[in-house]
Amino acid sequence: MTALIDDFQRAVRYVRISVTDRCDFRCVYCMSEEMTFLPREQVLTLEELALVARAFTELGVEKIRLTGGEPLVRRGITDLVDEIGRLDGLRDFTMTTNGAGLGKHARSLRQGGLDRLNVSLDSLDPERFRRLTRTGNLQRVIDGIRAAQDAGFERIKLNAVILKGRNDDEVLDLVDFARRERLDISFIEEMPLGDVSDHSRGETYCSSDEVQRLIETRYTLIPTTESTLGPSRYFCMPGSQSRVGFISPHSHNFCATCNRVRVTVEGRLLLCLGNEHSVDLRSVMRRYPGDIEPLKERIIAAMPLKPERHHFSTDGDVQVVRFMNMTGG
């Protein structure tokens, strides 16, 4: 039973928590080249992050995803995972990562109770990978994925943001890689979050339907009814365990079934990725340190703020000034 029901009768069962705004990459669709990060005192402490996670599970949330920024650059991340991994009522505990830190951390994460991993991977060409991430090393990410498999993570999912003219020619290679390595893969439409300096979003927009058509030139995609409580629509392919997912905030609006909220790195509870409706959880935690009841009350009181839908458009306008690393993708 969840205590969190919004005004459109949607039950909130899934929270994404951003544990840092910092990152060792500077992906072109996510950050600008020069970023200013938050002063430490504005960022939730590990204790506050753990309290937020416990408050949500006590209110009926069953799925928690840690994200960022890059969660694996947050000092103490494995301690936080240990703590959250022990919470009663948590059915699915996941992390989205760029994969570069998995060589170092995969084993501790698995031992700490993390169930699943999403690893972002937009190109299999080392040069292009470097250009898209501005700093990333492809081999390190691939080694990280293998380290995670060795540590016992199953059904690792790749996330690929496809940009026209940048990496849309790699869609089939990415699917082949996923099949070979026994990974799932989701293709994500670029969202207009933050004003990135690298490209105009109207020009690079590539719809999920276009990506799907490309894949279908080589493979048959069979729709599945499976759900991971997330926004992906999944397909399977004959002769392969790998699933292909599409996350399509533009072309297939998924707001009607939205069961998610987000907590930003500053402790703002965001009721919708595409809107500014939010409440401040940090101030409650700092006024009543370690006391979970006022925090739970604030979360319950925020539910009527969850808007019916977002209004992203594909013309490249920036509608939300937050960068994705602040929000947690």
Question: Where do contacts with ligand SF4 occur on this chain (CB under 6 A)?
Answer: 23, 25-27, 30-31, 68-70, 98, 120, 324-325
Q: Does 269 bind ligand SAM (CB under 6 A)?
A: no
300: closest CA among 3, 1, 2?
3
Find the part of the chain contacting ligand SAM (CB under 6 A) among 76-84, 165-173, 190-198, 210-218.
190-198
Task: At 314, give phi and psi (nearest 5°).
Answer: -100, 10
Which residue type, as a one-letter code, is found at position 184?
D
Residue number with CB closer to ligand SAM (222 or 318): 318
Among 12, 15, 21, 29, binds ligand SAM (CB under 6 A): 29
Of 9-17, 92-100, 257-265, 296-304, the window that binds ligand SAM (rule: CB under 6 A) is: 92-100
- Three-class secondary structure of residue 160 per DSSP: strand
Output the smallest distance, CB 64 to ligand SF4, in A. Answer: 18
Question: Is residue 129 near ligand SAM by the rule CB under 6 A?
Answer: no
Q: Does 121 bind ligand SAM (CB under 6 A)?
A: no
96 part of the interface to ligand SAM, by CB under 6 A? yes
Regarding 98 and contact with ligand SAM (CB under 6 A), the answer is: yes
φ, ψ for residue 254, nearest 5 deg: -110, 20
User: Quick check: helix, strand or coil at residue 126?
Assistant: helix
Residues 6+ apart with CB under 8 A from 221: 212, 215, 235, 236, 237, 244
CA atoms within 13 A on the CB side of 234: 16
Q: Which of 202, 160, 168, 164 is nearest to 184 (CA)?
A: 160
190 binds, among ligand SAM, ligand SF4, none (CB under 5 to 8 A by kind): ligand SAM
Nearest CA to 231 among 172, 189, 281, 279? 189
With CB under 5 to 8 Å by kind, the binding choice for 232 among ligand SAM, ligand SF4, none is none
CB-nearer residue toward ligand SAM: 156 or 191: 191
Q: Are strands 260-263 and 243-247 parallel, antiparallel or unpaired?
A: unpaired
Instruction: Report the residue from 57, 120, 232, 248 that binds ligand SAM according to the rule CB under 6 A.
Output: 120
Nearer to ligand SF4, 6 or 70 (CB): 70
- Using the rule CB under 6 A, which residue among 6, 21, 48, 70 binds ligand SAM? 70
CB closer to ligand SAM out of 15 and 303:
15
Q: Rounded to an integer, what is the distance from CA 63 to the centroid of its chain?
A: 13
Amino acid residing at 133: T
**Nearest to ligand SAM by Cβ — which residue?**
329
Residue pair 245/187 in contact (Cβ under 8 Å)? The answer is yes
**159 near ligand SAM, judged by CB under 6 A:** yes
Dist CA 153 CA 140 (whole Å):
17
Minimum Å distance from CB 29 to ligand SAM? 4
Residues in the chain: 329
Closest C-alpha among 143, 74, 85 to residue 112: 85
Interface positions with ligand SAM (CB under 6 A): 23, 29-30, 67-68, 70, 96-98, 120, 159, 161, 188, 190-191, 193, 324-325, 329
